[in-house]
Amino acid sequence: MKVAIVGASGAVGQEFLRVLDERNFPMDELLLFGSSRSAGTTYKFRGKDIVVKELKHGDDFKGVDIAFTSAGAGTSKEFAEDITKHGAVMIDNSSAFRMDADVPLVVPEVNAADAQNRPRGIIANPNCTTIQMVVALKPLEKLSHIKRVHVSTYQAASGAGAAAMDELANQYRQIVNGEKPTVEKFAYQLAYNLIPQVDVFTDNGYTKEEMKMHHETRKIMHSDVEVSALCVRVPSLRAHSEAIWIETERPISVEEARAAFEAAEGVVVQDNPEKKEYPMPLFLAGKDPVYVGRIRKDISNPNGFSFWCVSDQIKKGAALNAVQIAEYLIKIKN
Ligand SMILES: NC(=O)c1ccc[n+]([C@@H]2O[C@H](COP(=O)([O-])OP(=O)(O)OC[C@H]3O[C@@H](n4cnc5c(N)ncnc54)[C@H](OP(=O)(O)O)[C@@H]3O)[C@@H](O)[C@H]2O)c1
């Protein structure tokens, strides 16, 4: 098994190195790629130094079985042919191919089997906010069809990449030292602030991030569900949080929803109001599961249900989900 990571120096790329090691992913060789900025940098993997190669057009992916790509949509589009032409499966973290009809969009807990049909050799990893939401929605959908979702997200700085995480940490340091905070990665200062915009606006007043939650949820769940999202960048460092309201075909009770969450693959319930127990991003960074809490009926709608959901978006929302897809491919091959 020969594996490649494209975008190795990035927030997601670095997480790939950790997740592949942590899960003891079977491989004989690992190749790392980046732009000219990180080419030549060395990263340690399982005690071995691996030098980042510059991503170029050509035959560098000959013999590669699985390529995990996380270097932005433009890079994925430009290099997809080079990556896949010798048979490598490209598991792509960018938005480049997610909505293409001939590219499966996969969250293993929800629609693993879709990964089997990949005519272009590409499998897309969904947007991080969508991944954690559909993992939590799946067990509820089994109870009663979900007709509508309203979701408000609270997205960590690291969702915008490694440099954005550094910018937030730096802003707090600068403010404490009485300096003017540097603002480059976000439209405004994020420290001590909330920014109700993630990605650019589209014609209907929603942002691209919000429309991704609508379209991708429907594709992954094979559902006609309507999703209305409002995405907010918040000054947490890592792990996205989401307040989710759903409307189901028949009313579902707190007890049956809790039991469904508890039995669901990849979901952990943290919900004990008396003990002030609920999921929080500060404590869940670096963890695998999707955590749910604040589980209750929606008092404004007899068929409504509401909960809070937190997951590490670099891990389950990106690297871990992609590695789970690769593990599924290995499992069905053997
Ligand atoms: N951060 C998240 O929470 C998250 C979650 C899900 C999906 N994603 C997606 O994953 C991708 C990477 O995100 P990130 O947060 O890891 O960003 P990041 O920290 O900014 O890293 C970007 C990576 O892309 C590489 N890169 C950029 N241009 C390249 C090129 N022309 N050729 C080769 N490599 C190139 C960079 O390499 P150099 O250092 O060499 O330039 C770097 O390794 C994006 O598509 C993003 O939307 C991110």
Residue 295 sits at the vertex; the CA angle it makes with 294 and 300, to the nearest 5 degrees, is 100
What mean pLDDT value characterizes the chain? 97
Q: Are the beta carbons of 71 and 35 closer than 8 angstroms? A: yes
Nearest to 315 by CA among 165, 186, 131: 131
Q: What is the pLDDT of residues 167-197, one digit of tens each?
A: 999 999 999 999 999 999 999 999 999 999 9
Tell me how far apart the alpha carbons of residues 96 and 91 are, in angstroms, rounded to a whole number: 11
- The structure's pTM equals 0.97
Residue 37 sits at the vertex; the CA angle it makes with 198 and 128, to the nearest 5 degrees, is 30
**Smallest CA separation from ligand 1 atom 43, residue:** 7
Beta carbon of 70 within 6 Å of any ligand 1 atom: yes
Residue burial 1-26, b: 16+ Cβ < 10 Å; e: rest: ebbbbbbbbbbbbbbbbebbeeeebe
Beta carbon of 35 within 6 Å of any ligand 1 atom: yes
Which stretches of 35-145 are assigned E, i.e. beta strand? 42-45, 48-54, 66-69, 89-92, 122-124
Tell me how far apart the alpha carbons of residues 71 and 126 are, in angstroms, rounded to a whole number: 15
Give bridge partners of residue 42 from the DSSP assignment: 51
Find the mean pLDDT for residues 198-203. Answer: 97
Ligand 1 pocket mutation, candidates 93, 125, 325, criterion most atoms within 8 A of CB: 93
Q: What is the pLDDT of residues 263-280, one digit of tens each?
A: 999 999 999 999 999 999
Candidate list 57, 145, 215, 240, residue with the active-site label: 240
CA 25 / ligand 1 centre spacing (Å): 22
Find the mean pLDDT for residues 127-156. Answer: 98
Q: How confident is the model at residue 284 (pLDDT cuts 50, 70, 90)?
A: very high
**Smallest CA separation from ligand 1 atom 17, residue:** 161
Find the mean pLDDT for residues 23-34. Answer: 97
Structure tokens at 156: 């960590």
Q: What is the pLDDT of residues 116-141, one digit of tens each?
A: 999 999 999 999 999 999 999 999 99
User: What was the pLDDT predicted at 134?
Assistant: 98
Q: Is the pLDDT of residue 245 over 90?
A: yes
Q: Are the beta carbons of 271 and 292 closer than 8 angstroms? A: yes
Beta carbon of 72 within 6 Å of any ligand 1 atom: yes
150 is catalytic: no
CA 276 / ligand 1 centre spacing (Å): 37
User: What was the pLDDT predicted at 80?
Assistant: 98
Q: How confident is the model at residue 241 (pLDDT cuts 50, 70, 90)?
A: very high
Residue 161 sits at the vertex; the CA angle it makes with 189 and 281, to the nearest 5 degrees, is 75
Q: Which H or E element spans position 150?
A: strand 146-155
Nearest to 104 by CA among 79, 128, 83, 121: 121
Ligand 1 pocket mutation, candidates 35, 95, 127, 167, criterion most atoms within 8 A of CB: 35
Q: What is each CA distance from 35 to 1, 60, 82, 229, in whole angstroms? A: 24, 14, 15, 34
240 is catalytic: yes
Q: Is the pLDDT of residue 334 over 90?
A: no
CA dihedral 198, 201, 205, 209 (to 10 degrees): -40
Tell me how far apart the alpha carbons of residues 54 and 64 are, in angstroms, rounded to a whole number: 16
Structure tokens at 82: 């080079």
Q: How confident is the model at residue 106 (pLDDT cuts 50, 70, 90)?
A: very high
